[in-house]
Amino acid sequence: MATKRDYYDILGVSKGASADEIKKAFRRAAIEHHPDRGGDEAKFKEVNEAYEVLKDEAKRKRYDQFGHAGVGGNGGGSPFDGFGGYGGQGQNVNFDFGDLGLGDIFSSFFGGGQQTGAGRRAQRGRDVETRVEITFEQAVFGTEAELNLNIEDTCEHCKGTTVEPGHQLQTCDQCGGSGQVVNVTRTIFGNIQQASICPKCNGRGKVPEKACSVCHGKGTRVKSQRIMLKIPAGIDDGATIRLREHGEAIANGPKGDLYVNIRVKPHKKFTREGDLILSDEHIDMVEAALGTEIEVETVDGPVRMKVPAGTQSGSDFKLSGHGVPRLKGETRGAHIVTIIVETPKKLTKRQQELLQAFRAESTPKRKFWH
């Protein structure tokens, strides 16, 4: 909790900033840090998180009063929802795309997060989303990608227990070990008792005798992590790979999951439809009329293909087994070649004469004008 930056600092505005100033500051910062414009994704999320709170009058008020603890619970009522560390907030950043006009780019990217309901204690770290861009061929044949993340990892000193090594846990003095505190509210109907999670021990009933001296009792630390990700052959643009327990760490619980969104760069020559690879090949009208054999560029290299006599422009031919491998099974889709017949734009005198002679031999379909 202590490592979370102040929301006003993140947006670079003063505590007394107007709603309009906050909105302007958000726009500037979001554009600056937008990952699609080469910005830092972690910063981008931070900016969005800050704006999510400061644009909302009620949340901003709670934040001013209670700090991060007042707004961590996804809008929940308890000012203590946010306790339990950064990973315990169960809060999914809601991007305000209306303000940026970038909704289409990100709607699929950040859509997959899991939320912990407001007021419930999160028992695992937060899910993290990232993305990887690969080439057309890498998507077809599979590849390995290196991910570099800068996220909360388990504190190596206390192994995520929050306790300084050599020390014990002791019963929480705030809740007496029950993990709950009871608030009594007086109303005209009598006293209403409401139990909530003990903010001191986060519901565990125990607190460290001495907090870990490295993470100060948080159980986690921000660390840069390198993960090698195996991307299977046949993966398509927009697919998401989940790596279980590779997300953010949390004290006394498993890590969240890591979601990796795969972006496939467009290819100069090939397009893709499911397990089919599509491309065009150009031939001239004589080849189309007489038939020919051409070399077709495929992801496996050049492949020879017969074009029969009388081929019309726009005809499709299938090269079996040169398409995309199916994710399940050993088989591959086909490569579909569309033949484009080119009509010559310039003819030599001799070619003109030959074509006129050719025409004289043909059955006229329409009246000639010269």
Residue 216 binds Zn ion, judged by CB under 5 A: no
Structure tokens at 125: 């770290």
Question: In the window 247-306, what residues touch Zn ion (CB under 5 A)?
Answer: none
- Degrees to nearest 5, angle at CA 268 with 267 and 271: 50
**Shortest distance, position 223 Cβ to Zn ion, whole Å:** 12
Question: Phi/psi of residue 134, each to 5°?
Answer: -130, 165
Question: In the window 32-91, what residues touch Zn ion (CB under 5 A)?
Answer: none
**Shortest distance, position 211 Cβ to Zn ion, whole Å:** 8
Cα–Cα distance, 218 to 225 (Å, whole number) = 19
Residue 163 binds Zn ion, judged by CB under 5 A: no
Give the residue with the Cβ less far from Zn ion, 138 or 220: 220
Q: 86 with 248: CB under 8 angstroms?
A: yes
Count of beta carbons in the 10 Å neighbourhood of residue 297: 15
Cα–Cα distance, 301 to 22 (Å, whole number) = 55
Q: Site for Zn ion (CB under 5 A): which residue of 30, 212, 307, 324? A: 212
**Shortest distance, position 128 Cβ to Zn ion, whole Å:** 20
Residue 155 binds Zn ion, judged by CB under 5 A: yes
- Residue 205: which residues within 8 A CB-CB, separation 6 or more? 171, 172, 175, 177, 178, 179, 198
HEC profile for 166-213? CCCEEECCCCCCCCEEEEEEEECCEEEEEEEECCCCCCCCEEECCECC
Cα–Cα distance, 134 to 142 (Å, whole number) = 10
Give the residue with the Cβ less far from Zn ion, 108 or 225: 225
Could you tell me which stretch among 102-110, 195-203, 231-239, 292-300 binds Zn ion (CB under 5 A)?
Answer: 195-203
Residue 201 binds Zn ion, judged by CB under 5 A: yes
- Match 């809601």 to its residue by tokens: 94
Residue 214 binds Zn ion, judged by CB under 5 A: yes
Residue 167 binds Zn ion, judged by CB under 5 A: no
Could you tell me which stretch among 37-45, 175-183, 292-300, 350-358 binds Zn ion (CB under 5 A)?
Answer: 175-183
Give the residue with the Cβ less far from Zn ion, 119 or 142: 119
Could you tell me which stretch among 7-15, 22-30, 164-172, 233-241 binds Zn ion (CB under 5 A)?
Answer: 164-172
**Shortest distance, position 224 Cβ to Zn ion, whole Å:** 18
Binding positions for Zn ion, rule: CB under 5 A: 155, 157-158, 172, 174-175, 198, 200-201, 212, 214-215
